[in-house]
Structure 1
Amino acid sequence: MTTPQGYDAIIVGGGHNGLVAAAYLGKAGKRVLLLERLDAVGGAAVSAQAFEGVEAWLSRYSYLVSLLPQRIIDDLALDITLVRRRYSSYTPDPSDPTRGLLIDNADAVATKASFDRIGAPADEFDLFERFYEHCRRLTEALWPTMTAPLLTRSEAKRLVTDVGGSSEWDAMIEHPIGDVISTHLENDLVRGVVLTDALIGTFARADDTDLQQNICFLYHLIGGGTGDWDVPVGGMGAVSSEIARAARDAGAELATNAEVTAIDPAGRVRYIVDGAQVEASATWILANVAPATLDALVRAGTEVSYGREQLAAGEPSAGVFEARPFGSATDHNPNTSREGAQVKVNLLLSRLPRLLDETVSPEAAFGGTFHINESWSGLDAAYSMAAGGGIPSPLPCEIYCHSLADPTILGPELREGGAHTLTVFGLHVPSRLVTAENNDEMRSRLQAAVLESLNSVLAEPIEDIIMTDAAGWPCIETKTTLDIERAVGMPKGNIFHGGLDWPFLEDDAPVSTPAERWGVATRHPRIVLCGSGARRGGAVSGIGGHNAAMAVLESE
Structure 2
Amino acid sequence: MVGGGHNGLVAAAYLARAGRSVLVLERLPVTGGAAVSSHAFTGVDARLSRYSYLVSLLPPKIVQDLGLRFATRKRAVSSYTPTVRAGRPTGLLVAEGRTRDSLAALTGSDAEYDAWRRFSAMTGRVAERVFPTLTEPLPSRAALRARIADDAAWRALFEEPIGVAVERHFADDLVRGVVLTDALIGTFADAHDASLVQNRCFLYHVIGGGTGDWDVPVGGMGALTTALADAARAAGATLATGHEAVRVHTDGRTAEVAYRTADGEAAVAARHVLVGASPHTLAALLGDPAPPPAEGSQLKVNMLLTRLPRLRDPAADPATAFAGTFHLDEGYAQLAHAYREAAAGRPPTTPPAELYCHSLTDPGILAPELAATGHHTLTLFGLHTPARLFTSAEGAGSDATRAALLDAVLARLDAHLAEPLTDCLARDADGRPCVEAKSPLDLERELGLPGGHIFHGDLAFPYAPDDAPAATGDPAARWGVATRHPNVLLCGAGAPRGGGVSGIPGHNAAMALLEHP
Q: TM-score range by the shorter chain?
A: over 0.9
Q: 1:282 to 1:170 in 2, by over 3 A?
A: same
Number of the residue aligned with 1:448: 407
Distance 1:223 1:68 in 2: 7
Number of the residue aligned with 1:475: 434
1:553 aligns with 2:514: yes
Distance 1:81 1:475 in 2: 28
Number of the residue aligned with 2:43: 53
Cα displacement (A) at 1:94: 5.6
Aligned counterpart for 2:312 among listed residues 348, 356, 372:
356
Cα displacement (A) at 1:483: 0.4
Cα displacement (A) at 1:263: 1.2
Listed one character per residue, the Cα deviations across residues 319-378 of structure 1 (whole Å, up to 9, x for unaligned) are xxxxxxx445xxxxx6x5231111100000000001111111001101101100000000
Tell me the amino acid that sits aligned with residue 33 of structure 1: L
Give the TM-score normalised by structure 1: 0.90
Distance 2:289 2:197 in 1: 25
Number of the residue aligned with 1:398: 354
1:459 aligns with 2:418: yes
Distance 1:84 1:511 in 2: 41
SS of 1:346's equivalent in the other structure is: strand
Number of the residue aligned with 1:226: 211
Cα displacement (A) at 1:120: 5.2
Number of the residue aligned with 2:445: 486
Cα displacement (A) at 1:510: 2.4
Listed one character per residue, the Cα deviations across residues 33-53 of structure 1 (whole Å, up to 9, x for unaligned) are 001111110000000000000
Q: What is the percentage of aligned positions where both structures have the same residue? A: 53
Distance 1:89 1:511 in 2: 43
1:396 touches 1:453 (CA, 8 Å); kept in 2?
no
Distance 1:382 1:187 in 2: 19
Distance 1:448 1:430 in 2: 17
Number of the residue aligned with 1:270: 258
Aligned counterpart for 1:297 among listed residues 285, 289, 299:
285
1:529 touches 1:548 (CA, 8 Å); kept in 2?
yes
Tell me the amino acid that sits aligned with residue 133 of structure 2: T
1:101 aligns with 2:88: no
Cα displacement (A) at 1:453: 2.1
Number of the residue aligned with 1:378: 334
1:344 aligns with 2:296: no
Number of the residue aligned with 2:225: 240
Range that drifts further, 56-65 or 442-451:
442-451
Distance 1:89 1:501 in 2: 27
Tell me the amino acid that sits aligned with residue 341 of structure 2: M
1:397 touches 1:453 (CA, 8 Å); kept in 2?
no
Cα displacement (A) at 1:422: 0.5
SS of 1:12's equivalent in the other structure is: coil
Tell me the amino acid that sits aligned with residue 198 of structure 2: Q
Q: How many pairs align?
A: 508
Distance 1:327 1:374 in 2: 38
Distance 1:222 1:412 in 2: 36
Q: 1:231 to 1:411 in 2, by over 3 A?
A: same
1:500 aligns with 2:459: yes
1:171 aligns with 2:127: no
1:121 touches 1:187 (CA, 8 Å); kept in 2?
no
Number of the residue aligned with 1:331: none
Cα displacement (A) at 1:122: 3.0
2:100 touches 2:110 (CA, 8 Å); kept in 1?
no
Distance 2:40 2:245 in 1: 27
Distance 1:394 1:444 in 2: 14
1:291 touches 1:533 (CA, 8 Å); kept in 2?
yes
1:99 touches 1:117 (CA, 8 Å); kept in 2?
no
Tell me the amino acid that sits aligned with residue 124 of structure 1: E
Number of the residue aligned with 1:313: none
Aligned counterpart for 2:484 among listed residues 505, 523, 527:
523
Distance 1:445 1:458 in 2: 20
Q: 1:375 to 1:94 in 2, by over 3 A?
A: farther
Range that drifts further, 212-221 or 502-511:
502-511
Tell me the amino acid that sits aligned with residue 542 of structure 1: G
Distance 1:94 1:278 in 2: 62
Aligned counterpart for 1:123 among listed residues 111, 119, 128:
111
Give the TM-score normalised by structure 2: 0.96
1:510 touches 1:516 (CA, 8 Å); kept in 2?
no
- Which contiguous aligned blocks of 4+ residues in structure 1 show a shift greater than 2 angstroms? 94-97, 119-122
Distance 1:403 1:97 in 2: 30
1:31 aligns with 2:21: yes
Q: 1:111 to 1:270 in 2, by over 3 A?
A: same
Aligned counterpart for 1:41 among listed residues 31, 43, 58:
31
1:206 aligns with 2:196: no
Any unmatched runs of 5+ in structure 2? none
Aligned counterpart for 1:288 among listed residues 276, 280, 296:
276
Cα displacement (A) at 1:511: 3.5
Any unmatched runs of 5+ in structure 1? 1-10, 300-325, 329-333
Listed one character per residue, the Cα deviations across residues 110-138 of structure 1 (whole Å, up to 9, x for unaligned) are 32121122225431111111101111111
Aligned counterpart for 1:156 among listed residues 132, 144, 148:
144
Distance 2:455 2:250 in 1: 24
Cα displacement (A) at 1:145: 0.5
